[in-house]
Amino acid sequence: MRLSYRSGGLRLKGRIHLLAFILLLGVVWACAEAPVTGRKQLILISESQEMALGLKAFQQVLKEERISRDPVKNAMVRRVGHRIAKVVRRPDFQWEFVVIDNDDVANAFCLPGGKVVVYSGLFRYVRNEASLATVLAHEVAHVVARHGAERMTHALLARVGQAGLNLAIQNRSPEAIKALNAAYGIGVNVGALLPFSRQEELEADQIGLIYMAKAGYDPTEAVHFWRRMARAKRGKTPPELLSTHPAHQRRIRQIQEHLPQALLYYRKGRNP
């Protein structure tokens, strides 16, 4: 048993060294930069992989969800979406805009490659095209900034860290190993993954504000939209520390801080 245990440890150690080498190469070759903000990023997932995953997920959505036949909602989503897509300038994206008939869900998302899904429940908070542009530009910003691939990279780093922890504590009791792994999981989630997810949400707000302004939509509407969402969600969201999204008031404050820059693009478009 001892020989088998040590052999397993050696194999684990070998895998750690291999993963560390791969990640080191990633640090050298996979540095990227987010649009608008210029934030440096580490991404170990190729765009072709991202787009393949996005297409697969989109096809799954189309199979599982009921597509809306509402001509007004569909026309509005396509009209606003194409205006935002035009200013993003990603000719390699195959843009598609779909409305899902589900009034219980007030949500939208964009998948790599330009597949945009809007749930009909979102229209409870949409007052005009600029309201819808607030959401669509935010979701498109996530994809253009490659936030999904960035999160996958962080998850990979977390798994490598946990494998390293298990290598270091392999001689502890099963109870100690279980407790340390649980503590590691909570620490990584609350201390790293969730804060990073909130940072990405705020970054998507900032980038989206510029996109909607360039597309000709008044960016001040973003403040009104998120205030409506804040009133609707009051008392229904977890504390920010335990959430993937920032608190509504924090989000609104940051949008207000970035409004002057976005308004420059908006006014320039109206007065070329």
Active-site entry in 139, 201, 203, 221: 139
Active site residue 150: no
Q: How many CA atoms lie within 13 A of 174 on its CB side?
A: 0
Cα–Cα distance measured from residue 55 to residue 63, given in angstroms and rounded to the nearest whole number: 13
Beta bridge partners of 111: 115
Q: How far apart are CA 261 and CA 213, in angstroms?
A: 10
Active site positions, annotated:
139
